[in-house]
Amino acid sequence: MLHDWGVIATAFSYIGLLFFVAYYGDRLSPTQRGRVSAYIYPLSLAIYCTSWTFFGSVGFATRTSVDFLAIYVGPIVMIGLCTPLLRRVIQLAKSQNITSIADFIGARYGKSQAVAATVALIAIVGSVPYIALQLKAMASSLETILSEDQAFSSIPIIGDIALMVTLAMAVFAVLFGTRQADATEHQHGLMFAVAAESIVKLVAFLAAGAFVTFWMFDPQDMIHRAMKTPEAVRALEYSPTIGNFLCMVVLSFCAIMLLPRQFHVSVVENTSDSDVTRARWLFPLYLVAINIFVIPIAIAGLITFPFGAVDSDMFVLALPIEGGAPLLSVMVFIGGLSAATAMVIVECVALSVMLSNDIIVPLVLQRSQRSREGKDFGDFLLKTRRFAIFAIMVMAYFYYRALGHTQLAPIGLLSFAAIAQLAPAFFGALLWRRGTARGAIGGMLVGVAMWVYTLFLPSFLDSNTAGILLLQHGPLGIEALRPQALFGTDLPPLLHGVLWSLALNVLAYVLLSLARQPSSIERVQGDLFVPSELAPIAPSFRRWRTTVTVQDIESTVAQYIGAERTKLSFEAFAESHHTRLEPAAPADFELLQHAERLIASSIGAASSRLVMSLLLRKRTVSAKAALKLLDDSHAAMHFNREILQTALNHVRQGIAV
């Protein structure tokens, strides 16, 4: 028999073990780390498999048979077949000192602060339901495993297990995700813990599947009994609709790259190209392994429990309990805890970086730049990110409280659809040089507005009479504006919402981008993100000149990354350029770009551009002139690189002549 205190103690002991694993991972020497790093990256990608995978896939399969597989086809296609795309993104991120998905998209569109902030807000809006899904899964699993003994849950506040798990995960994320201001510095301990959790949840799920399939049931007996169970027959005979299936494939294809945590582990935490090569086969293999027993567990649950007696999302835990295997039940519970905690911790770290770098820092810089002059900005960044983590967890907790009895899969798909609104701007950044910041912002805002109207609101409207009337007859009785049947479109709700939101998103992105010519910095960044084989064209910019000194720049950089690191970096710069940096000498554009890149490692590309423009503004007539000067420096650097590359590309022909 499982008792409250024993299960709770086991859960918190496991979280304590994660602290130790992360601490141990941080203390490993580079040589020791190299022995295990070969598998850290592929296993960290498995953070994609959250409690939705661990619990929700079984529940999904009880209703829609093999539809759940669509959520894994997209990631297999992206990681297994589209590795050149992933390598390109990693290469760009490293060269630009990218810290997040918001930073990446913002950097492409002229290092636009508005673009980065828009992406950050959409990422937060789309991720909060997903974090709430993890809290709901943990609360449901605790309710299932403690169903016979509810003494603990009766204690005020402490008995609110979801709240306790929320606070514990927030503390873990703060301790191991916000130790340094440099958001591009690899967090080996955290990734070590995430990889360990990937192993735990895989072993736990396979153990539960083997127990149910070969111990509780015989495979032939299971099939024979399933044919006599109406619910099982209904699930097995369900015929997936091709539209819905392809829609989920597209959403999952976007999610594996655009979810904040996935971008963080696959791009920011990447250490070598060999990691991508290894992940190309190991990650798809992991996805196949963790889904092998989904259908057998779903069928066994439908056979064992009367319809509605047990939440189908909890079959993977309820079946070992029913089969009299308490130790396996605790193991499965810990596996679910691993799936949830890994996602929540890394997601919160990634979101906190975006919230601080792309929303809070720009506001602080613009409003109180003088008062912060000369002060250490690193400490402020860390405090901001820690506060952001707790704020995000609190929002997710209250969203979880509002969910009611919603199944796990619909919550996850809602979140995927929100994150997919970043896809046109993201893939356009890599494929279309003509895209602009105005187009990216317009497309994302239109797409999110349609997502809210066609998917988010309907998820709450069906709980009251007024909401049901709106869904059936549209606002003010205008049936053409029904949220789930716009202009008479007769499609499944998910496909309908995704199709309308992404179609209008792409349309707005293209039209607004074509409405005006890209700025000089947008052209420069566009050439970096979308390489051209054409010969370089000299940019039209004035003679580059500034009265900002080397000392001014060094002092500014030190505020964000520390005096010691700044000194070492500037010395390395001087040595590589065979020059001597005199403190009172005017800074050239190469030093300015070097400083901007250093600051970007702490606060992102868009905010670092703002910092440098504020520095230049002291010595120029206006903010516009400062930004023009900064953009001209980018254009000058880019033109010089292109001239050199063109010369190298044609040196063989020249020698032949």
Please name each of the domains of the chain with its CATH number.
4-365+375-407 (1.20.1730.10), 431-529 (no CATH), 550-656 (no CATH)
Taking the alpha carbons of 124, 98, 349, 58 in that order, is the dihedral positive or negative? positive
Closest listed residue to residue 271, CA positions, set 185, 333, 353:
185
- Given a cut of 80, whether residue 635 has pLDDT beyond it is no
- Given a cut of 70, whether residue 541 has pLDDT beyond it is no
* Torsions phi, psi for 586 (to 5 deg): -65, 145
Q: Write down the pLDDT at residue 627.
A: 46
The angle subtended at Cα 545 by Cα 565 and Cα 563, nearest 5°, is 10
CA distance linking residue 584 with residue 70, whole number of Å: 61
Write out the two tokens for 70: 């669509």
pTM of the entire predicted model: 0.84
Contact present, 294 and 68 (Cβ < 8 Å): yes
Lowest mean per-residue pLDDT among 23-37, 58-72, 119-133, 337-351: 23-37
Write out the two tokens for 7: 């299960």
Contact present, 204 and 331 (Cβ < 8 Å): yes
Q: Write down the pLDDT at residue 111.
A: 84
Contact present, 397 and 163 (Cβ < 8 Å): yes
The angle subtended at Cα 127 by Cα 265 and Cα 200, nearest 5°, is 50
- What's the mean pLDDT in 157-183? 72
3-class DSSP state of 242: helix
CA distance linking residue 343 with residue 198, whole number of Å: 10
* Torsions phi, psi for 539 (to 5 deg): -70, 150
Q: Write down the pLDDT at residue 551.
A: 80
CA distance linking residue 205 with residue 335, whole number of Å: 7
Lowest mean per-residue pLDDT among 256-265, 326-335, 584-593: 584-593
End-to-end CA distance of the chain: give it in Å, rounded: 87
Q: Write down the pLDDT at residue 180.
A: 62
Residues 613-624: pLDDT tens digits?
A: 777 665 554 445
